[in-house]
Structure 1
Amino acid sequence: MILRSLKLENIRTYISEKIDFPSGSVLLSGDIGSGKSTVLLAVEFALFGILRSGLSGAALLRHSASKGSVELKFEIDKTEYVIKRTLRRGKASVTQDSGYLLVNGKKLEATPVELKAKIIEILGYPEELITKSKSLIYRFTVYTAQEEMKEIIFEDKDLRLDTLRKVFGIDRYKSVKENSVIFVREVKRRISELNVRLEGYGEISGELEEKEKKESLVEQEISKKDKYLVVLGEIVNREKTVLREHEKDIEKYNELKKNLEVKKAQAGAKKSVIDTLDSKAEESKKKIETLGKKLRGYAEIRELKHEKELEETLSGLQEKHSEVVKEKFSVREKLGIYAEQIKSLEDEVKEMSKKSRESIILKDKIEGLEKSIAKKAEQEKMLEDLLEKDKKANFALQKCEIKIRNSEKIIEQIKTAEICPTCRRSLDEKHRREVAEKEEDSIRQNQEEWKKINGIAEKISKNMEKLRKNIGKIAGLQESRSELKQKLAEMESAASQIVKKQKELSRLYEKKIEIGEKKLEDETALKQQIDSVKKELSAARDNNLRYREKKNIAELEKQEKEESDKLREDLEKAKKELEVALKEIKELEKGINAYSAISDLHEKQKKKLEEALEKQKAAEIDIVSLTQERKYLRENIEDIRKRIREMDKVKEKIKELNLILNWFESFFLNLMSTMEKHIMVSIHREFNSLVKEWFSILIDDIDIELDEEFSVRVIQDGYEASVEGLSGGEKTSVALAYRLALNRVINDLIPRIRTKELIILDEPTDGFSTEQLDKVRDVLRALDMKQTIIVSHEPKMESYVDSILRINKIDNVSRVIS
């Protein structure tokens, strides 16, 4: 069959167009949506009319037109055919009108159905392969629409096999086999029904005797099982007693572990206390040594000297001196002023001496505060460690809670589930109960773990609160230190003024003496006495100042020694307590080691108990089963005598049916299967070879082959891959190779087909790479068709064909340019 021309009147985007088809390879070129596929649909419509699965008449007829037509001219074996079909728009739908067929100029007018029958005859297509929905031969040999190309590969395998059977003309074997299977199934059903009635025929007496013996054996077995059940009960009770003992040991073991943790925590706390006391004792020792050194600096100071007597003596002498010089008013006035200044300075010096003594005490207090504040970083580090432990404990609590919720969820699920959510096996009552018990044990264990961790978390929280309070106290000490330092600075500043004031005092003394010498030269002896007393008074004041300083230092030394003694007592006490705790820890560890194997023993004992319980349960089930069996045997023995009379009537009927069944199963069905298999194997061999050949032309780094169900298997780098995993171009190549191979096989299998010289390819290069497009030329050469029509929008295809028909669409009207 060779297409010569096509006339379109009001078909989709065509108003009035004639297309001449040359021989050889022809390319229908144009943009997407320009009307290329419409040409192919029009050819199919001209040949077969409107098909149920194709475009409807309303989709073919141009929207604005009331009628339209398609006229196709083609040639077969030098005979020219022209077929015309028309469409008319009615009120409700678009329908086909009568058309005509010209054979070498001779016209035959006919209805759409008559035209279709005539075309099938002309094309040599088997009538059974032309349905109301599609023409299988035409679809698989001449033209497959673009959207249907890949459906050949990806459709359901059973649907594809059924389609191929129809195309290859061997579906009749399947129908015969299916009908035969139905008949055989009915015969077997009938034989089965009769065989049920014949059970035990020929051996009924022996069966009766056998059942009586079996009944006796069952009685004996029941008696044995009853005794065995009693023994198992004793074993179960004994194993339960042992298990309870193990559980008591486990409780003791857990209590020992708990006590060990507590003792270890206490020992750790004691070690921390000892370290702290050691540090404080060392600091106290250093303080005592420092104060001792200071005291040795005051060794010459032994007692207080009487300042008052000297002051009174000095006062008397000064009064005498005043009387001597009172006639000299100016001198006296000056001496009086100097005396007041000296008195003021002496008072200031006394006050400053007092502050100097207080500064020593302040320094010691500040040193003590500095040492306490230095521990802040250590306290903060301990707080950080406890925060981390608290975080871990909270995480562990959440983990336990999640496990508990998961177990509760599983217990709830298995109440109604058919599949076990833990092992994915089918659930029976036994497995359901085992899973529930296992999850309940898990819940109890996690609850106990939760309580243990929660207790630890509470202790951590208390220690954290204690540390926070200590850190807060240290912050308060820092403020006190700042205040004391400020006060100390003021005192030291005042102390530094003592020397200046004493120098000023000496200067005043000197001026006073100087005035006395100038004005009262006759009072030298009195002056000398005054000077002597003043020196004694100054020495007494210095002595008394140093005596008070010595007394303060001695008092501080005494307090520090008492504190040191108290620290040593506390340290010794803490060491003894630590020693006791370590001994208790050793005892607890010894006790725990004695129970180290108890968990394994407990698990083994649980398994032994479970095994004993399983045996006990199995024995109980066996007794129930045997009792039921005994009841059944007794009833069965009564029924056997009644059944024997009915069996003779059935025997002949079964024999007759078995002869028929044997002929179908041994001969007829095998014959049909062999014939179908022989044809399918032959077709598969050729089909597979052609598919591989066409695909190798398009793609050389991937191999494909057909399995027994004519599905495509992809082989890449020695491994099997799925067709779905291929790229778009590779999938198109698979579909094209499958299509071309199917074309060749069908044409070879059905010799009378008269469309072997024509093939139409709709967008066969969809998704192709540049390299794949270059291989299309090889495909066209290998096809060696008298006429190949290709629809494509790929510009590169133009260089591979003999003729090009360009289709343009302007203002929704398509035109063909040769």
Structure 2
Amino acid sequence: MIIKQLVLENIRSHESTEIEFAEGKTLIRGDIGSGKSSIMMSIEAALFGKKLKELIRKGKESGKIELTFEIKDENMNLKKYSVIRKLSTSTQKGGEIIYHSEGNKKEFSADELSIEVTRILNINETAKAQEIFQAFVLAKQNELKKLIEGSKKSDVDERTTIIMRAFEMEAYKFAIDNTVRLNQRIKNVTIGKKGEIKKLNEIEKSIQEKNYKIKKMKNDLETIKSSRIKKENTYNSKKDEYDKIKEERTKISVINSLIKSKEREINEKKEDILNNDKKRNIKKDKLVKSGKTIEQIRKGIENLVPLDGLRNKEDRLNNQITHLKMDMNRKGDDAKRYEEIQKDGKCSTCGREISNSSGYDELISTVNMEKNDIEKEIIKINKEKNAVRETIEENQKNKDLKRDVEEINDIDETNKKLDEKIQGLINEINEQKVKLNELPDENKLKLVEDEKNIAEKEFHNENNRLTIIDRDLQNEMNNLNEMNLELEKLKQTKLDINKLDDINEWLNKYFINTVQLIEDHVIHTINYKFNELFKEWFELLVEDTSKTVRVDEKFTPIIEQNEFEQTFEWLSGGEKAGIALAYRLALNSLIRQQPIGFRPELLMLDEPTDGFSKEQLTKVSNILSDIENKQVIIVSHNQEFTKLDQIISVTKENDISRIQTHSYGD
């Protein structure tokens, strides 16, 4: 853990303070009461959230502490965090953490924030996290000796507990306690399981009886299956016979419908013959009225002049008559005009006077003669035209009579065909009646239906018997399966009991003893390493070579002089300070050697030289300056410290602390 920055707002004498921390050795110096220790207290408060209200500046209702630090996670990846605590005199406020490496921020309640910080610091003991931090990282003013003072059992237990929890030694005790509890649970489970397997022999006997019963039921089932097949075949045979007869019986209605249809068709054709005879009689009456025989009609038609020629001749005569009438009218007009000229004595056209009108009598006579000749010619042509018309009409009558004759012949032919069809339909009806007589009667159908119903009932009864036995057999087999499963379960339970007994024996005889041996070995190793470090720091800090130190198995410091033990209370102030500082430095050096878990690179010392004589100050200051931690923060009002990387000067004016940061030697 390396502290990068601390921001304070309204924290004791710090109204608004921002400190950037460097790696290496940092000295926070200033006069007594200038606000140096408030910086250390704020760092601790930001991490663990204790006694926050006491830090709020007098006269203010709120404050804020923001601590930014870097630390390696369990995968040795360097992560950066900012912990922000919001302080209030009235209520307990929470805060937030900025996860710089992940690029996000999260808010927490006050308690949740402390738990999350403990997790980030890799301290597994949340309840004792602050005590562990104080023992291994932060030595506050006047508290260096606190950890090693006191020889009462409670003092020793507390010191040992803090050290053991820091090194996660509680895990061994936890493992042993859990093993003891597991041992007892195994015993309880075994007792219950032994009660379960008492019915093992009873179940085995029941399974034998069940197997015998199932075997008999299977034999009965096969017998019924064979009987069922026979009855099913009988039923299917009777059903097929019944269906066949029923299908044949359905043909009766079809044949009857067909006969009726053909009878209707015969009646329709007879009706057609009657209608045709009526038409034939009408045509024959027409021939009788004409007075001609059929032979005469045929001969007259053979001698006919083509109608087209006659009609052309008639048209030509009509045209001649028309032209003659026009000539006759013109002649009449000429005679009329001559008579008017003769009468008037002048020309009606030019008005010229006529002196002699005798010539007009001849003209009038000539015109009238020509008119009469034309009139005679018209009469002659009309006679010829009338003769042509009569011939045309006669030809038309002969044609109509011929058509009637042909229609009579067609009617006779049609009626002949109708008679033939009627006879064919009569023959078909007779054939269908023969087939109808060959079909089974109603009594045969009823007899076969009764036989089918009996066979069906017997088949269903046998099928029901088969279903019931099959169902009962399945139930018995299911019961057998359940009993076999229970048997296997009980056998497995018996094996489990043996395994549990083996496990119990192994836990009691080997595991617990092994864990205790490992715990003793680890504690001995920690104790040994700590002892060596403690001696090393003691020899550096205390000049009296007649005195030696060591720790016992409870990590209680033992001071000896000339092989005689001395109590801590009878030591001088400088010796007490040296031993206390040596103990803290040894703890910090040892915790940093852990491969996992809480292994801080930070060491914070608040007035660590307090109690040393003036002669010891320079030596102690040089020793502290040579500490190998990546970051050491020392609070002191003494000026003897050298080999520093950063100096933070704290001054106080008008009850407000001011900060000035500079490198050593500036």
Q: What TM bracket, shorter-length normalisation?
A: 0.3 to 0.5
State which structure, 1 or 2, has the greater radius of gyration over its C-alpha atoms: 2
Instruction: Choose between structure 1 and 2: higher helix proportion.
Output: 1
TM-score if structure 2 supplies the norm length? 0.46
What is the TM-score with the length of structure 1 in the denominator? 0.38
